[in-house]
Every structure is written in structure tokens, then in C-alpha cells.
Amino acid sequence: MENFQIYREDRWPHMFCPGCGIGTVMSCFQRAFLNKGLDLDRTAFVSGIGCSSRLAGYVYADSLHTTHGRALAFATGLKLAQKDLEVVVFTGDGDLGSIGGNHFIQACRRNMDLFVVCVNNNNYGMTGGQVSSTTWHDYLTTTTPKGNPEYPFDLSRVAATSGANYVARYTTAHPKQLVRVIEEGLGKKGLRFIEAWAACPTYYGRYNKMASPVEHTRWLKENSIHIEQMKVDGKTAEDDIDLQVTGKVTIGVLRDADRMSYLEAIQR
């Protein structure tokens, strides 16, 4: 990163492995935040536990590093107490979709006024690369040495069908697009969910024959398909879900709705 305008340089060096996709997400978030001209004093950051959840502690702003899976519950309380703050949640697939799964669904259902960035690296990175609820079927992790017998959650689809106003997904191989959707989401009300599908070369990559950051990032790119392309190809929503399970993940803006947010509903 050329500069650390929103991050605490005094906390460097950071704890991420070489080639970790979280660095790209940090960089994209900073660019979007600065492009938008937002104020760190009017923004609070909340996270759970995990490598991705360390992000909140690196931002030069007030932040809460909470318990595993509970970031959205803390963030909801904070937003209700400080309605003028933009509350940003940094989380991971383990934190949000696995241990915190129910909080995730309920926050989306409420359309709570939160901005959520989930770094989905398909495993529990911090604790050594265990299987998570987004690990792909048959993929190897430290706890599924014969391949994952389960199927993954599609976090963005869960958010969209649970009621979040804005849902967008890109991979860390799509930094420009990530900046654009973060910028777009930061200006909206209700629950805004950005899924950054990211490389974890140290664990998920190493166990699945893509140990280098370049190989892992290429895998992300090759296994994603833009939602607009799906339409051109005449694919339906069902094909989409099937593709997600069998190989390709849809990227793009998956939902952009204008449903009344939780705060709007209680302030009428």
C-alpha cells in the first residue's frame, strides 16, 4: 500500500502471511473510503475473531474487536446507540457464516444499517486452515484430509435472500470492482454486504495445489463468472446456485434494493 491514510502505521508490520488476500481488501477499502470522502471520526469499526477480523484494529478510528461470531450483534447495539455513525464490520467466512451464522441471517433479515465486509478465504485461516462453512465440496483442509464431504454456503446468496439491501461479491483478483462496490455500498442504508472472495495461499491454497499467491488468485478469477455474463448466457437463478456448487461463483452486484431499513422503521 502506498500510504496508510486510514490505517495505523504504528501497528506495522501486520500479521498477515505473504500473499494473503486481506491486504488487497484493506487497500480496496481504503481507496473507496477516501474516494467517498468519509470521516474516520464518524465511522466505527467492529469485528469478530480471525485474521480478517484483525482489520478493525488496524484502522485509525474507534473500533471494537469482539468475540468470535458476534460482531454483528455488537455492531447492532452500537448502531442503535450511536445512530449517526457509519458502522463497518470486518469479518471472515468462519466468523460470519459458521460460528456467527445465525447473527448473520438475522441482521440481514432486519436490514440493519450496517456495512459488512466479509473476507471469504474458504477456511479458518487464523487457527490453521480448518474446514469452514464455505469450504468447497471435496476440497482439502487440515480437518478434511480426504476432502470436504459437505457443500458450501453461498454467503452472498444467504445475505440477499435473507433481506440485505445491497449485496455484491468480487474476488481479490478484481480490485477495481471491489473498490466500486464498496463505494456504492457505503452510500446506502440498511444492511450492505460485500463479499471479498480471497486467497489464503498458506492454508487453503497449499492444501489444494495452489500454494503460491499467483496460483490461488488465478483460481479465484477462473472460477468466478460475472452476473451479467450469466444473463448473456441465458442462465437462470437455479443454474446460478448449481454453478456455485459445481464450480463457478457469481460475481457482481447480486442485489440492490431500497427496502426500508431497521433504523428507518423505528424512527417513523
Ligand X SMILES: Cc1ncc(C[n+]2csc(CCOP(=O)(O)OP(=O)(O)O)c2C)c(N)n1
Judged on CB neighbours under 10 Å (0-12, 13-18, 19+), 102 is: exposed
Query: Does residue 240 interact with ligand X by CB under 6 A?
Result: no
Of 239, 236, 241, the closest CA to residue 157 belongs to: 241
From 19, 21, 92, 252, residue interacting with ligand X (rule: CB under 6 A): 92
Query: Does residue 119 interact with ligand X by CB under 6 A?
Result: yes
Judged on CB neighbours under 10 Å (0-12, 13-18, 19+), 161 is: middle
Residue 50 near residue 89 (C-beta atoms within 8 A): no
CB of 169 to ligand X, least distance (A): 16
Pairwise CA distance, residues 123 & 200, whole Å: 8
CB of 161 to ligand X, least distance (A): 21
From 30, 63, 121, 244, residue interacting with ligand X (rule: CB under 6 A): 121
CA-derived radius of gyration, the chain? 17
Longest dimension (CA), the chain: 54
Give the residue with the Cβ less far from ligand X, 17 or 85. Answer: 17
**3-state DSSP call for residue 179?**
helix
From 6, 26, 46, 51, residue interacting with ligand X (rule: CB under 6 A): 51
All three cell numbers of 155, joined, read 454467503
Name the segment binding ligand X (CB under 6 A); options: 1-9, 47-55, 206-214, 217-225. Answer: 47-55
Query: Does residue 124 interact with ligand X by CB under 6 A?
Result: yes
Query: Does residue 50 interact with ligand X by CB under 6 A?
Result: yes
Query: Does residue 126 interact with ligand X by CB under 6 A?
Result: yes
Name the segment binding ligand X (CB under 6 A); options: 10-18, 121-129, 153-161, 185-193. Answer: 121-129
Report the interface residues with ligand X, using CB under 6 A.
49-52, 68, 92-95, 119, 121, 124-127, 132
